[in-house]
Amino acid sequence: MLELPIKEVNIIDNGNTGGQVLLDMPNILKASQIKNMVMVKYAGFITERILNGEASDGCMGYATSDMDSANILLRKYVILTDDSISFTGYEDEYIKNKCIELSKLWGKEVEVLLSENENEVKEIAEQLIEKKVIKVA
């Protein structure tokens, strides 16, 4: 839905996480790619809320978690796209507030996108529960 190069989606049954999306992304990202990556990071959490009525904390709380990764990407996005920021990126309070604003906005975008495609999301979830892995490329 976000036109990212998905290689694989899987369920990881190790008690630390619910799943993983493997993308074939370059090491250097453009701002539009960063936005889509953040939205993917939010998607698992929001999907749980839509399908189950509540979400688990599987996407947060450890160094490589979706939420921590999203926060790093949000900061990069703001620094890359906001011309009012110096090249040092030391406007911490300003950057933090912009990240919060974008996080809320993009979270709502993800929620709308997933809700509009709820049947497809349910189908993918059922395939993952059955197969544990969906390979795309």
User: Alpha-carbon distance 116 to 80, whole Å?
Assistant: 30
For the chain, helix (H) and strand (E) counts, in that order, are 4, 3
pTM of this structure: 0.82
User: Alpha-carbon distance 97 to 67, whole Å?
Assistant: 16
User: Alpha-carbon distance 40 to 133, whole Å?
Assistant: 17
CATH homologous superfamily of 6-135 equals: Peptidase M41 (1.20.58.760)
User: Alpha-carbon distance 24 to 66, whole Å?
Assistant: 17
**Across the chain, what does the average pLDDT equal?**
85
Give the Cβ contact number of residue 30 at 10 Å.
Answer: 10
Checking if the pLDDT of 69 tops 80, the result is yes
Question: For residue range 7-41, what is the model confidence (pLDDT) as tens digits?
Answer: 878 776 655 556 777 788 888 889 999 999 999 98
The confidence score (pLDDT) of residue 5 equals: 82
pLDDT band per the 50, 70, 90 thresholds, residue 61: low
Delimit the domains of the chain by residue range.
Answer: 6-135
Checking if the pLDDT of 97 tops 90, the result is yes
**H or E element, residue 124:** helix 118-131
Instruction: Summarize the confidence of residues 96-109 as an average pLDDT.
Output: 97
Contacts of 19-22 with CB under 8 Å at 24 or more apart are: 19/44, 19/128
**100 backbone dihedrals φ, ψ, rounded to 5°:** -60, -45
- Among the residues of 2-91, which ranges form H helices? 31-52, 66-81
Q: Do you know the residue count of the chain?
A: 137
The confidence score (pLDDT) of residue 75 equals: 93
